[in-house]
Amino acid sequence: QLQLVESGGGLVQPGGSLSLSCEASGLTFDDYAISWFRQAPGKEREGVSCIGKRGDSTNYADSVKGRFTISRDNAKNTVYLQMNSLKPEDTAVYYCAARSAFFETCVLNAAAMDYWGEGTLVTVST
């Protein structure tokens, strides 16, 4: 069982920045690609960004390209999501999820994930 714990959420003004972390424990972290999803009130969960198990492959939703950056430190069993130029529409609960991966690829498909964290709330507002 892989446990995932998100942190770093909070309240930020439009145009501001936040850095989210997803720390894993329980299994071999670098066997897993990690993805970030978010779910706003009344909306479906959507994929935000993902990173392959070695960190060589990344993918972003069009809505966050150029503003968000995903990275990972396998020595610390942690994936980071740096979020800049935040907009009110970025307000959501952000979840990290893990998918066992043989190749260095990642996907933004919630149904393909093996493990999920509990989420951290990001609120972008004045």
Query: Tens digit of pLDDT for each residue in 4-39?
Result: 999 999 999 999 999 999 999 988 898 999 999 999
Taking CA atoms, 63 is separated from 33, 48, 68, 90, in Å, by 21, 8, 9, 9
Count of CB atoms situated within 10 Å of the CB of 51: 22
Confidence (pLDDT) at 101: 87
Query: Tens digit of pLDDT for each residue in 40-76?
Result: 999 999 999 999 999 999 999 999 999 999 999 999 9
Contact, 17 vs 86, CB < 8 A? yes
State the pLDDT confidence band at 102, using cuts at 50, 70 and 90.
confident
**Of 24-28, 48-52, 78-82, 111-115, where does mean pLDDT reach its minimum?**
24-28
d(C-alpha 103, C-alpha 16), whole Å = 35
